[in-house]
Amino acid sequence: DISIQELIGDTLDAFYMEIQNRGTKLNVDIEDRFIHVDIDQMQRAITNIISNAVRYAKTQIMITCKGNVLTIWNDGLHLSEGDKKKMFDRFYMGEGGSTGIGLSLAKEIIEQHGFEIKADNLEDGVCFMIMLK
């Protein structure tokens, strides 16, 4: 078992310098709770999602956990319809993507834990939502 707050905090450690160097504003608002996961694997999945948020954010990233939903939002460009359909497919690279493995691996790990992930455009950016149990 690990607290969501600890999982996110440990994962963000690897990104603080890059976020600071880019001048990106980071907001974290976690209603803490514990989840039963393979910590290394779940950290790998969250790392892949945060890495995308850092890559695509214009000025800000927000990570929240309310109830059973962990969200990772950034104010980057909206996902195209093609990206929304294929972004979790192995080797699919959207514009500015790197290997096409990160999000497919994240989805696989998240689903192996009995959770669900989806992504959608919001009025002011892109939001990844992980539905926890």
CA 73 to chain centre: 8
What's the pLDDT score for residue 85? 80
What's the pLDDT score for residue 91? 53
What's the pLDDT score for residue 93? 56
What's the pLDDT score for residue 121? 95
Structure tokens at 101: 């493995």
Low-confidence ranges of the chain (pLDDT < 70): 90-101
What's the pLDDT score for residue 43? 97
Residue 66: how many other CB atoms lie within 10 Å:
10
Q: How far apart are CA 22 and CA 13, in angstroms?
A: 15
CA 33 to chain centre: 18
Structure tokens at 109: 């790990």
What's the pLDDT score for residue 88? 74
Residues in Cβ contact with 105 at an 8 Å cutoff, skipping those fewer than 6 apart? 44, 45, 48
What's the pLDDT score for residue 67? 93
